[in-house]
Amino acid sequence: MKITVQSSKVLKPAYDGSVPSVATNLATPLTMFDKVTYAENVNGVCFFHPPVPSKSSLETGFVKALAAYREWAGRLGVDANGDPCILLNDAGATLVEATADVALSSISPLEQTPDLQSLCQSGGGDNGEEVMVVQITRFACGSFAVANTLHHLVGDGHGMCRFLMAWGNATRGATVDRIPVYDRASIFKPRNPPRVDFEHRGVEFTKPRPEQKARIINRVNCSDTVVVHRVHFTPEMLSELKSQGSAGAARPYSTLQCVAAHLWRCITMARRLDGNMITKLKIPVSGRERMHHPPVPEEYTGNVVLWAQPTTTVRELVASPLRHIVEIVSQEVARINENYFRSFIDFASSGVVEEEGLVPTAALAKAATDRSAAIFVSNMKGVPLYELDFGTGQPLFLFTRSYPPVDGFVFIMPNLSSDGGMDVQVGLFARAMDIFKDYCYSLTTANAKL
């Protein structure tokens, strides 16, 4: 597949006559939730039915959406106090238009391969570069792809999706209401007096150790390749997992928790780890649904995510029935409630992080070696990308990814499957992938060995 870039331009927000003037010297500080997320770009690609919208309608819709969501037209920087922030300078975002010399069907099924990297631009976010780059690729058959590269410090999956949907609406000619740029710091004020009721050292924050720095070097020098496999769970597989995971429970556990527990176990077995090792599953929990006093504004763009971190030994994980693993996951997810979110806000606002030289654990997450026992889940299932529409209906298919792919990173995708199933993208070292597939699709651990 050959991708040819036809044009690339930085587009700035276009305000209509209802906005007489917009200040471009403002800044909104990053919150504690922004600071503890992954400080990197996130890529996603959505594929659509033909025909491709016109160049003018795409550009017009894009600048209208930027006017509604100004943060995506800004830049990362520091404010007058030297604190990290988003500069609301309306510097713009890059829109790339390209063509592919093949039909979309020729690259199906769509797996994460280096060839598909050409559908995405590398993006910026550092050194004054844009925090969003998007690429429209027209295929020879008339289908098209919309690829986005957005910086995670600016927003979570919910915030990213809202911009993309606004762009789709504006491209179709629908009205896009301007969303206020919230003073991020004011939304997450600490309590008076503050109450740190939970431990946040070693959870959201940690103090780097020398061996963690060595892991970064080891990972760079590792000769094995990380590959990505898309697992499709059919409705029958999901039903069986939910039945196994909820056996004996007072009420059924969620499908998501059962799938996450199954993947945790299968990946751990594929890695052939020592039974005494501690293994951890990091699964995101959104504060949008949990914080009510006060609630988070629905249209808020920034990050509002913490992580549940169910933990056990490799031996217990492998030897226990699925229902026990699901119970561990469920209890930990339930623990990350409003009280936990408020405790985190109070801790992060107390000055302890700066005094003790703590750093976000997310900053070290991708430094894991091939012997790491951690698994990181990115749950996109609740992000309504299936509503994205540029005039030809919902996406045919989509994927999100970390590039280059990272061992142990799992993406649970929004439901676009026509059969009602679920798609999950799993990144593993190549030597472990075939073993993982055997366990994952068999839905059993009868032959598990440590």
Q: Please tell me whether residues 182 and 227 are part of one structural domain.
A: no
CA distance 399 to 88: 30
Q: Residues 33-40: what's their mean pLDDT?
A: 92
Residue 204: DSSP 8-state:
T
CA distance 40 to 402: 9
More confident residue, 221 or 103: 103
CA distance 205 to 356: 10
Catalytic option among 79, 232, 324, 389: 389
Asked if residue 333 has pLDDT above 70, the reply is yes
More confident residue, 310 or 385: 310
Q: Which helix (H) or strand (E) holds 12?
A: none
Confidence grade of residue 443 (pLDDT, cut at 50, 70, 90) = confident
Full domain range(s) for residue 346? 205-442
pLDDT in tens, 155-194: 998 889 999 999 999 999 998 888 877 888 788 999 999 9
Phi, psi angles (nearest 5°) of residue 425: -105, 125
Asked if residue 151 has pLDDT above 90, the reply is yes
Q: Tell me which of 128, 157, 187 is where a domain ends.
A: 187
With CA atoms as reference, report the closest residue to 400 among 104, 153, 146, 130. 146
pLDDT at 109: 55
Q: Tell me which of 187, 219, 243 is where a domain ends.
A: 187
Confidence grade of residue 112 (pLDDT, cut at 50, 70, 90) = low
Q: Residues 13-41: what's their mean pLDDT?
A: 85
Q: Please tell me whether residues 111 and 211 are part of one structural domain.
A: no
Confidence grade of residue 126 (pLDDT, cut at 50, 70, 90) = low
pLDDT at 447: 40
Residue spans of alpha helices (H) in 100-145 = none
Asked if residue 312 has pLDDT above 70, the reply is yes
Do residues 25 and 297 lie in contact, with contact meaning Cβ atoms separated by under 8 Å? no
Residue spans of alpha helices (H) in 50-120 = 55-68
Q: Please tell me whether residues 40 and 107 are part of one structural domain.
A: yes
Residue 152 is a catalytic residue: yes
Catalytic option among 151, 152, 158, 262: 152
- Output the average pLDDT for the chain: 87
Do residues 131 and 75 lie in contact, with contact meaning Cβ atoms separated by under 8 Å? yes
pLDDT in tens, 240-267: 999 999 998 889 999 999 999 999 999 9
The encoded tokens of residue 375 equal: 């698994």
CA distance 6 to 406: 31
Residue 28 within a domain: yes
β-pairing verdict for 93-100 and 132-138 = parallel
Per the rule left: phi > 0, alpha: psi between -120 and 50, beta: everything else, 19 is beta
Q: Specify the CATH number for the domain of residue 278.
A: 3.30.559.10
* Sign of the alpha-carbon torsion through 63, 65, 68, 73: negative
Residue 448 within a domain: no
Q: Residues 316-344: what's their mean pLDDT?
A: 96
β-pairing verdict for 26-29 and 132-138 = unpaired
- Report the number of distinct structural domains present in the chain: 2
Q: Please tell me whether residues 142 and 271 are part of one structural domain.
A: no
For residue 352, what are the contacts with CB-CB under 8 A and spacing of at least 6?
A: 358
pLDDT at 236: 94
Separation in Å, CA 271 to CA 137, 156, 343, 410, 433: 37, 30, 35, 15, 9
CA distance 57 to 35: 36
Confidence grade of residue 372 (pLDDT, cut at 50, 70, 90) = low
Residue 293 is a catalytic residue: no
Q: Please tell me whether residues 255 and 297 are part of one structural domain.
A: yes
pLDDT at 365: 63
pLDDT in tens, 215-231: 443 444 455 788 888 89
